[in-house]
Amino acid sequence: MLHLHTDSVLEVTVHSARGLKDVERFGKNDAFARISVDVDNSKQYEKFKTEVKKNSGSDPSWEQSFDIREVEDKHTDLYVEVLDDDNGADAPIAFAAIPLQQVKEAPNQSLSALYDLYNDHGVAQGQISLTIRIVQPGQVSSGNITYDGNFNKGLSRVDEEQKKRFKKLRLKETATDVGGATVLGGIAALGAGFLASQARKNEEAKKRDEALAENQ
């Protein structure tokens, strides 16, 4: 749906990703993407987040658009994160910082491109396709832009602050997994102890019954 913007807006369509690492231990990624113009703004990442694509594995597709109005001159990059949805802490898959200068220099200040993503070691891993457009006051939105698989390569980079953030997300996810495993291990140990105790009680009861039968 086309609509008239009354203020400056960064319009971002998150199309799809490809070549992602599968971080699920069992099954495939339940992948979602989120974006922000502030590297560590959790509220903004939560606001501009795609739906979760269940069992999408290494090549999820979203085709969702967002209007970011909280854009100022100090915002030089669009920060992108791709994660695997989990009941505990979401597992980080890949990230990238996308310089907005290339969008400003593009025809009509609109750029559809493929961008390299990076893992928490800063190594390129997978790509994401985005359409990024700077919409000035009085302009209309670009409507629904679909990805045809023929976008050119855009410029992305590893931002050190985002890299640190992603490592923290990894540590949080790992700690949650370890905690869950510890709890499950504790439950299993308690269960095993309970069963052993019950077995001893059953054996003692059996011996009492046998002794009672001999005395009759």
The single-letter code of the amino acid at 110 is S
Residue 111: pLDDT above 70? Answer: yes
The CATH number given to 9-176 is: 2.60.40.150
The domain locations on the chain are: 9-176
Question: What is the four-CA torsion angle of 15, 28, 161, 47, rounded to 10 degrees?
Answer: 50
Which helix or strand (DSSP H or E) is residue 186 part of?
Answer: helix 160-215
CA angle 125, 130, 136 (to 5 degrees): 145
Span of 5-14, 28-37, 123-132 with lowest mean pLDDT: 5-14
* Rounded-to-integer distance, Cα 40 and Cα 161, Å: 8
pTM for this structure? 0.78
* Rounded-to-integer distance, Cα 174 and Cα 123, Å: 20
Quick: pLDDT tens for 141-174: 766 666 667 789 999 999 999 999 999 988 888 8
Helices within 85-159 (DSSP H only): 101-104
